[in-house]
Copies of this chain bind each other. A is one copy, B any other.
Amino acid sequence: MSTLGHHREMSDEGPGTYGTQRKAAARNRQAIIDAAHELFAENPLVPLSEVARLAGVGAGTLYRHFPTRDDLTLAAYQHDIERLTATADEVLERHTSAKAAFVEWFETLAGYIRIKHGLGDAMHSAAVQDVVEASWEPTAAGVKKLVDACRAEGTIAAGHDPRDIIMLMSFLWRVAPTDEGVAQGRRLIATVFNGLEAPPS
């Protein structure tokens, strides 16, 4: 409503006081994300106070940037998720068979989840369900490319929603990180693929 103000400083990209403060704030934000990314990988339930300590900021600063733990979790893994999405294109280019690309991509995802325990657990926990929902949106686009290629190839029937397929792969978060678990994951991916040959009911 006010027609006056100090908007100039707010949008000033130069070394003004606010600009420096905003840059410091951005640096803090990134430091928190980096610290969370490192610590969550080891233990998704790590106290946020430790994240703040590693990031070198006060507890209040962490809460200012990320009001809930979920917000921080999403931010911490967003980059990883984006990279994973990009992989879909690359894998498709490398294979002549779309089915092989599909299987490889999901096996890569399986390995990814296996190593990044934190990511797997965090995405799986009921508490961050909403965050997962939001962050899988771009991944769904990657899966859609794989599915479309398989459909064109005739190995997957028409009508399967990429979101359905991601759901079908839920077991990937539950298989044990052992040799047996790896084999089971591979087996189950193949079984799911098999089920996709017929159209959905």
A192-B190 contact given A124-B124, A124-B126, CB 8 Å threshold? no
Chain B residues in 8 Å Cβ range of A201: 186-187, 190-191
18 pairs, A vs B, C-beta closer than 8 Å: A124-B124, A125-B126, A164-B191, A167-B175, A167-B188, A168-B188, A170-B171, A170-B174, A171-B171, A187-B201, A190-B200, A191-B195, A191-B196, A191-B198, A191-B201, A192-B195, A194-B196, A194-B198
Question: In the complex, which range does the number of interface residues on chain A fall in?
Answer: 20 to 34
CA distance A35 to B196 in the complex (A): 44
**In the complex, A112 has a CB within 8 A of chain B:** no
CB-CB under 8 A for A171 and B168, given A190-B201, A195-B191, A195-B196: yes
- Bound-state CA distance A25–B191 (Å) is 49
Compute how far the CA of A170 lies from the CA of B189 in the bound complex, rounded to whole angstroms: 13
Beyond the given A125-B125, A167-B175, could you list 13 further A-B residue pairs with CB under 8 A, ordered by the A residue number?
A: A160-B191, A164-B187, A167-B171, A167-B188, A168-B188, A170-B170, A190-B200, A191-B192, A191-B195, A191-B196, A192-B195, A194-B196, A194-B198
